[in-house]
Each structure stands twice: as structure tokens, then as C-alpha cells.
Chains A and B, each alone.
Chain A
Amino acid sequence: MATTTDAQLEISRPAPDTVLVRLAGPWVLRRDLPDIVEAVEHGVPLDRVRRIVVDAARVERWDSMLVAEVRRLRTMCVGHELEVDLESLPDGARHLIDLSTAGVRQQQRRSRGRHGFLTAVGVEVLRAVRSVGDMVGFLGETVEALIAALRGRARFRWGDLLQVVQEHGPAALPIVGLVNFLVGMIVAFIGAIQLERFAAEIYVANLVGIGVVREMGPMMTAIILSGRTSAAFAAQLGTMQVNEEISAFRTMGIPPMQFLVLPRVIALVAMVPLLTLYANLIGIFGGAIVALVKLHLSLTLFYEQLVGAVGIGDWIGGLVKAMVFGAIVVLSGCLRGMQASRSASAVGYAATSAVVTSIVFVIVTDAIFTIIYIALGV
């Protein structure tokens, strides 16, 4: 027998058509409560039973666990077309049961959509294709805004432009510098180990120069800015979207493309080549340090070899690339920010998606540039 402190359940059949469910003790939120429905379904044969009576006179304490259990019993009874008598339940509990069944709009429980593997792949591919389309469309809108600006008709504040320049140009110098310094050193190290075997140590200057100026400088800078600037823009514009600030601009006749996106685009397309130039110099410096310490090449020698190896075409090629990367960084950030939905999680999603979009486009574009430059013989 259960002790008196536990909830108790007794099933009996006082008349052929009646089942009596007697409850006693505390019926509160506890795991070890008896299962009423199971007890009724398996405790007594239900043939010819027409009525189930719940006797709760000896229930000491109750909370919504009792209500939930009795409600389930009632649902079961309705399913079996049995009458159910809940008169002896505490008033509050009976009212809660009524409240939970009265006025319920019968809404079919909706099943979660499950997709197969192929569907998932298809959805992702379509999303990737759409992403390219979105980007091109957004670029078009930006150019439109730019044309309006050139005609002097854009709604646009120079103060905003300067602020973006400050926040995403000079403020990025330390991180861009650090990363590119280390990248320059890494390139030099890898080169040094290989070139030492041929006693061709001096060519480490060529390797560092070409590698950094044509590839690593522009690309590393763009990737850093994807994380720093693109995410920031997506979060800023996404938050504005959530707060309906973007809609407020639209309804006041201020095109957000001109007011919000254009200053960011102009600032970044101007700042990224400058940052890249700085990144190139720091990267080469990092390489020179390795050459000096590990290969004992003097800085003068390194410099002279470098000037001979890296032509003006390499520098310009790298900076043109950087300008395009700048546009990609800013467009991904603004695009994802403007696309953000109105929910709380939208901002985080926009920021993540902006970084991913930006990095993927930067690397794909870099590959395309490399092919074009080789074809052109730059």
C-alpha cells in the first residue's frame, strides 16, 4: 500500500454501467503520480460502461497536474462516448477544465514540414542562385542611386559618409596591420624553407612581393572587412529594419538606397584600396623581417630585389581588385541588412549571412580576377 503522503488512485465498478475513479492525497506536479487514463483503460473492462464518476473528495492538495490528468481522462471519455461526472472536483479545478475546453477554436495541429535530402539540396541550390541575382539587382539599385548622387539629386548627407569613413577606414588599421604582417611573415617562411635548398634565398623578396601585392594583401584585407564591416552594416540596417526605421525613410520619400547604402558604398570603395595599400606595405615589411632574421638578407638587398620583381602593374592590379572587394563587402552587408525580416533573430541571421556572402563572393571574384589577369598578361 502507498503511504498516506502519496497520491492515491482507486478504480472500482459499483454498477455494471459505472466506473468510479477515487482520488486521494496530494495531486501536485510530481513524477510518481498514478496514470488515471491507463488505470481506467486497463484496470477494469469497459464493456457496457456508460459513465465514469470521478470522486475527488479526499484530494488534499491539487495544482494543474490534477487538472491536466482529469482533462486527459475527459478527452478519453469523449473518444469512447462515455459520460463523465466531475462534480466532486474542487471548484477551481472544474472551472479550469471548463475554461480549457470552452471556446477552443478547433485548429488542426499542424505537422512540421519534413523534406528529403534531395529537396534540401535543391532548396540550397536555388537559394545560392537567388543570392547571385539579389546581389546583381542590389548593385543595379546602388548604381542608380550613385547616378542620382552625381546629378546632385540624391538625398545624402556628407556627415554620414565621413562617419563611415572614420569607423571603417582608420579604425580598421590595427587589425588589418596585424593580420597582414603575420601573413607576410608566413609567406616568407614558407618560401625561405623551399628556396634555401636551391641557394636561391634572394628570391624570397620576389615571392613575398608578388604574393602579398597581387593576392594576399587585397584578399586578407577583404576577408577581415567581411567580418568587421559587412557584419556591422548588416546588423545596423537589420536593426533599422526591425524597428521599421527603413520603412519610415521610405514613407518620408527618402530612398534608403541613397540615404543609407550610398554613403557606405562610397566610403568603402574609397577606403578598401587605401587599407590594402597599407596592408601590402606591412605584409612586405613582415616578409623582410623574416628574410633578415632567418636568411640574413639585408633590408637594402631585399628592397632592391623587390623593386625589380614587383612592377607597377602588380600594384595597380591588386588595388583594382581591392576596390571591387570593397564593393562586395559593403554590398553584401547592406543587402543582407535590407533583406532582414522583422523578427528578433533577424539581425543575427543578417549579420551571419552577410559575412558568408561577402567571403564567398570575395574568393570567387579573386579567382576570376586571377584568370583575367593571366589572360591579359598583367
Chain B
Amino acid sequence: MQSPAPASDRTICDFAPQDGEPHIEVRDLTMAFGDVVLMRDLNFTINRGDIFIVMGGSGSGKSTLLNHFLGLIPPARGQVVFDGQSLWDASLEERDRMLRRAGVLYQSGALWSSMTLEENVALPLGEFTGLSERQIRELVALKLALVGLTGFEDYFPSQISGGMRKRAGLARAIALDPEILFFDEPSAGLDPISAKRLDDLILDLRANLGATFVVVTHELDSIFAIGNNSVFLDIESKTQIALGDPKRLRDECPDPRVRSFLTRGRESAEAPS
């Protein structure tokens, strides 16, 4: 048996903060489709209250990693640990319960198209809380107001713009006051102003909801604007090669692949031999 090298050997820039309280831990994770290994030996910790960026080029498995976090696809090997409890070793009911503490904003909002915005946000509240109708109405009004969609309660997703759909998706994601919020490419397909507004909203919510945010993105502006911790997935070496604050990685990481990505190729795109 060949034991894999510890991740720290291959992680060229490890600027991961040492003082946080771990919220999500990824241990020896291997992502694969059948025999094709996408990423191996992923080891990193997301601390409580982080805005943690998962970055990497297209095809580096960012979305697959998100699916492992969300309980949608089991990883080929390794563990995802929420608050000390392994997601993939838990029973189905336990996993459901763990995942209910997480909210997700999908790439295009993933609002249920046959329901109005109000019904979209109200559905998880009605299913899981046992609140009265009046309380649910108040909460829905609050969540929609937080994302700036007051007055759009009775609109269907097809009647509003892409940026509004994303914000409505965010309102639905925070409906149950999640401890962890996952974002899949939050600014993809948005104009710069809307993308900036969404970033600001994420920062505002982070400051006040006290949740942990995990953001999958390759939008550099967003990465630097909101991220305080990150993992960089490299396609060539099929593993993580950098951890920590993206701004610090940009300024201090010597690895050309990381620098090239974070400076949009302005600095040396040569891969090391």
C-alpha cells in the first residue's frame, strides 16, 4: 500500500490562520469520477465566521467539492467534517439534520419556478419550523427586505432579472438562519455593479448573521473583496497548492500558478517543472 504524502508537503503556500475555531474540516479528501481522479489529498479547515473562498481554474473540481459539502455526491475517499461530525459517515437522517443548518445559493438562483418569491422563501420555514403563518410572513418580508426585494413578493422567478433572482435565492438560503452558507459562483452572469452589490450584501450578512460562508468562485474582484481565507485547487498537480487569505497569497505566495491566477496572468504563467 502506498500511503499518500501529507498534504502540507505539496501545499506550497500555507497561510491558513491558526487561531480560528474549526467549523468545517476536509480530511484526506479525494474527488474522482470513476477511475479519473480530479483532486486528491485535500486537507483544510474552514473556521467559524470565515468567508472561505474555493478557487481554481475551470474543471478543477470546485463545484464537485461543493457537492461533497452539500451531501449531494459522496467523495471517493476522505471526510467532510461539520462541527466534529463526519458528514459522510452519518446516517441519512443525521445527514439531513446537519445539512438543514446549511443554506445554499446556487449559480442561477435555482428558485422554484412555479412559486412566487414569497412562497419560495416561505417553503423551508413552513416545512421545518412550525411557526405560525403570521410569523412566517414577517420572516419572509424581513429576508426579502434584507436582499432589497421588498415589494416583489408576488413575482415569479421568470418575471425578474438575473441579479434579482440571485438575491431572491440568497433570501431563500438564509430563510432558516443557517450556520453555514454555501455560494456557487455568486457573481457569475452579473454586471459589475450587481456583482459588487451582492458582495456588499454578503459582507453585511456575514457581519450580522454570524454564519460561516463558503464561496466557490473565480471572480478575482469578489475573491479579494470578501474572502479572508481560501483554498487554491490546481489542475496540473491535482491537489491544493495554497491556503489562506487570498490577498496575502497574491502578494506573498511565490508559486507562479497561484500568482498567475490571482493577477489574471500578469505575473508569470509558467508552470514549475
A contact set with B: CB distance below 8 Å:
29-31, 33, 35, 63-65, 67-69, 71-72, 91-93, 95-96, 99-101, 103-112, 341, 343-345
Contact = CB atoms under 8 A, between A and B. Distances in A.
Nearest to B138: A68
Given A29-B176, A71-B141, A105-B151, 4 more contacts: A29-B125, A30-B129, A31-B131, A343-B113
A71 B142 contact: yes
Contacts of A341: 158
Contacts of B148: 103-105
A95 B142 contact: no
Contacts of A345: 113-114
B208 A92 contact: yes
16 contacts: A35-B134, A64-B177, A68-B135, A71-B138, A92-B208, A92-B210, A95-B204, A95-B207, A99-B146, A100-B142, A101-B145, A104-B150, A105-B151, A107-B150, A107-B152, A110-B154
Contacts of A99: 146, 204, 208
A104 B145 contact: yes
Q: Lowest 3 A-B CB distances belong to which pairs?
A: A107-B151, A100-B145, A68-B138
B125 to A, nearest CB: 8
Contacts, number: 84
B143 interface: yes
A108 B142 contact: no
A106 B143 CA distance: 16
A316 to B, nearest CB: 48
B158 A343 contact: yes
Contacts of B152: 107
B84 interface: no
B130 interface: yes
A280 to B, nearest CB: 43
B209 interface: yes
Contact of B139 (A64, A105, A109, A344): A64
Interface in B177-192: 177
A63 B174 CA distance: 11
Contacts of B129: 29-31
A112 B152 CA distance: 11
Contacts of B91: none
A99 B209 CA distance: 12
B132 interface: yes
Interface string B117-155: 000000001000111101100110111011010111111
Nearest to B132: A31
Contacts of A64: 139, 142-143, 174, 177
Nearest to A95: B208
Contacts of A65: 131, 135, 139
Contacts of B139: 29, 64-65, 68
A104 B148 CA distance: 6
B255 to A, nearest CB: 38
A106 B141 contact: no
A344 B141 CA distance: 26
Interface in B60-107: none
A23 B137 CA distance: 21
B151 A31 contact: no
Contacts of B131: 29-31, 65
A108 B137 CA distance: 17
B12 to A, nearest CB: 38
Contacts of A30: 129, 131
A179 B177 CA distance: 55
